[in-house]
């Protein structure tokens, strides 16, 4: 149905974004492109609907070279969903859904009927037809984005990280809803993500990209069982590790709710006493309302022992923190990547409510390894 034949893209300035991609996609297949940021996923998608022209190679849809087709006509036959939703704020939901049908000059009555029918697919009633995007939740807006791509019955739909901006619960339900929808409508889908869980859940075949090249193509099962190389292994492993505890999602669930603190007017020797007492080498500095002001540690105290008298005079205000409803996996990444020993957790009023330490993360990691081992035993 869709064929990429030795497709490459070199951007002006020489950046090689996509190199020699070969791929045959069958009608009705759900293909997921996955790979780290910058590996060429979006570039590949945009070459399929000719928002970007390949530097070399050819792309065929139903045997016809897309370069032989009028780009505008071509794009109307291909649904396109992107992360930023892209609904038009001044248009009603009906107008947004029926954008392409309107361009194709469908009569008003038919457009309305189609919009209503599509809303039904995602359990939204006709009362939404005349509403505006801002009156809908993020999840509902993204549903409309998907429906818009389906509106003119395109045989092929491109989706570039369509659920990336949604909260995990909404994302989960939309993924399921969409997988069902795809099966019943028998569309060919090319879907981009950097989330391995999403890929495994949705894909008939996964295409793993690295630096513009295909590293492996296979069913989710094949890729999990026989990763082609260390890159794939690590990609599956790292992602799985951070996502393998679906019950533990937010920082609030793993933080220590009693961080050791000190207030600004305390002297440095008082601060040292508190550190000794609690066996810590760093203290979070808060005001009377428990709003985080910064931190001090043994090093800072050591440097200032002679001149300064109070904590407030020497504290470092440059402290990285997270909100209590931040996803754990994002926090884990930051802690590991930036080498923090801990991250303070704040509520919506910047008040200190807890602390996530490297040590507390060990538990999560341990649990997920244990969980995986159990699975392996059961599968054998």
Task: Give CA–CA dist 348/270, Å, rounded.
Answer: 30
Q: Which is nearer to ligand ADP, 15 or 305 (CB)?
A: 15
Q: Which is nearer to ligand ADP, 42 or 96 (CB)?
A: 42
Sign of CA dihedral 209, 213, 215, 220: positive
Q: Which residues contact 306 (CB under 8 A, 6 or more apart)?
A: none
At closest approach, how far in Å is the CB of 53 from ligand ADP?
A: 12
Task: Give CA–CA dist 7/63, Å, rounded.
Answer: 16
Q: Which is nearer to Mg ion, 42 or 95 (CB)?
A: 42
How is residue 70 written in tokens? 């009028």
How is residue 173 written in tokens? 């339900």
Q: Which is nearer to Mg ion, 28 or 164 (CB)?
A: 164
Task: Give CA–CA dist 203/180, Å, rounded.
Answer: 12
At closest approach, how far in Å is the CB of 215 from Mg ion?
A: 17
Out of ligand ADP, Mg ion, none, which partner does residue 180 contact, by CB within 5 to 8 A per kind? none
Out of ligand ADP, Mg ion, none, which partner does residue 61 contact, by CB within 5 to 8 A per kind? none
Q: Which is nearer to ligand ADP, 46 or 324 (CB)?
A: 46
Task: Give CA–CA dist 114/200, Å, rounded.
Answer: 31
Q: Which is nearer to ligand ADP, 9 or 293 (CB)?
A: 9
Task: Give CA–CA dist 164/195, Å, rounded.
Answer: 9
Where does the chain have alpha helices with state H?
41-48, 71-76, 93-97, 99-103, 108-121, 138-150, 168-185, 196-202, 220-225, 230-243, 268-278, 298-304, 311-314, 328-338, 358-379
DSSP per-residue string spanning 58-80: EEEETTEEGGGS-HHHHHHTEEE
Task: Give CA–CA dist 21/127, Å, rounded.
Answer: 45
At closest approach, how far in Å is the CB of 194 from Mg ion?
A: 8
State which residue has the least CB distance to Mg ion: 42
For the segment 2-61, give every residue that binds ligand ADP (CB under 6 A).
11, 13, 15, 17, 35, 37-43
Residue 280 has phi, psi (to 5 degrees) of: -125, 160
How is residue 177 written in tokens? 């809803």
Interface residue with Mg ion, options 8, 19, 42, 326 (CB under 5 A): 42
- The residue count for binding ligand ADP (CB under 6 A) is 12
Q: Which is nearer to Mg ion, 41 or 50 (CB)?
A: 41
Residue 23 has phi, psi (to 5 degrees) of: -160, 135
Q: Which is nearer to ligand ADP, 40 or 354 (CB)?
A: 40
Out of Mg ion, ligand ADP, none, which partner does residue 11 contact, by CB within 5 to 8 A per kind? ligand ADP
Report which of 229, 215, 237, 234 is spatially closest to residue 368, judged by C-alpha positions.
Answer: 237
* Edge-to-edge order in the sheet of strand 261-263: 261-263, 282-286, 292-297
Q: Which is nearer to Mg ion, 191 or 342 (CB)?
A: 191
At closest approach, how far in Å is the CB of 142 from ligand ADP?
A: 18
At closest approach, how far in Å is the CB of 207 from Mg ion?
A: 14
Out of ligand ADP, Mg ion, none, which partner does residue 15 contact, by CB within 5 to 8 A per kind? ligand ADP
Q: Please choose, out of 34-42, 215-223, 235-243, 274-282, the segment that lies near Mg ion by the rule CB under 5 A.
A: 34-42
Check residue 44 for interaction with Mg ion (CB under 5 A). Answer: no
Out of ligand ADP, Mg ion, none, which partner does residue 43 contact, by CB within 5 to 8 A per kind? ligand ADP
Q: Assess contact for 190 and 33: CB atoms under 8 A.
A: yes
At closest approach, how far in Å is the CB of 327 from Mg ion?
A: 20
Using DSSP, state whether 211 is helix, strand or coil: coil
Which positions touch Mg ion (CB under 5 A)? 41-42
Which positions touch ligand ADP (CB under 6 A)? 11, 13, 15, 17, 35, 37-43
């Amino acid at each position: 149905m869709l064929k990429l034949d030795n497709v490459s893209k070199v951007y002006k300035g020489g950046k090689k974004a996509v190199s020699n991609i070969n791929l045959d996609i069958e009608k009705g297949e759900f293909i997921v492109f996955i790979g780290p940021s910058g590996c060429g996923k979006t570039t590949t998608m945009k070459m399929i609907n000719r928002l970007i022209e390949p530097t070399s190679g050819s792309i065929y849809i139903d045997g016809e070279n897309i370069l032989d087709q009028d780009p505008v006509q071509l794009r109307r036959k291909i649904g396109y969903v992107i992360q930023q939703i892209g609904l038009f704020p001044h248009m009603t939901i009906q107008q947004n859904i029926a954008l392409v049908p309107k361009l194709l000059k469908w009569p008003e009555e038919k457009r309305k009927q189609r919009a209503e029918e599509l809303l039904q697919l995602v359990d939204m009633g006709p009362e939404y037809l005349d509403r505006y995007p801002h009156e809908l939740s993020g999840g509902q807006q993204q549903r409309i984005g998907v429906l818009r791509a389906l509106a003119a019955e395109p045989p092929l739909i491109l989706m570039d990280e369509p659920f990336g901006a949604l909260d995990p619960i909404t994302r989960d339900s939309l993924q399921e809803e969409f997988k069902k929808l795809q099966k019943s409508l028998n569309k060919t889908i090319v879907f981009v993500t950097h989330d391995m869980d999403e890929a495994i859940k949705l894909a008939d075949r996964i295409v793993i990209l690295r630096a513009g090249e295909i590293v492996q193509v296979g069913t989710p099962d094949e890729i999990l069982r026989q990763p082609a190389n260390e890159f794939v292994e690590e990609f599956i492993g790292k992602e799985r590790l951070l996502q393998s505890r679906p019950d533990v999602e937010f920082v609030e669930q793993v933080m220590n709710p009693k961080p050791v603190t000190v207030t600004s007017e305390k002297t440095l020797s008082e601060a040292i006493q508190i550190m000794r007492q609690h066996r810590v080498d760093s203290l979070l500095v808060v005001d009377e309302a428990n709003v985080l002001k910064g931190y001090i540690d043994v090093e800072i105290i050591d440097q200032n022992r002679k001149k300064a008298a109070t904590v407030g005079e020497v504290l470092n205000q440059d402290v990285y923190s997270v909100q209590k409803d931040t996803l754990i996996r994002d926090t884990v990444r930051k802690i590991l990547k930036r080498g923090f020993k801990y991250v303070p957790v704040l509520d919506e009023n910047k008040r200190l409510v807890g602390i996530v330490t490297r040590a507390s993360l060990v538990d999560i990691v341990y649990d997920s390894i244990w969980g995986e081992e159990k699975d392996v035993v059961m599968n054998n």
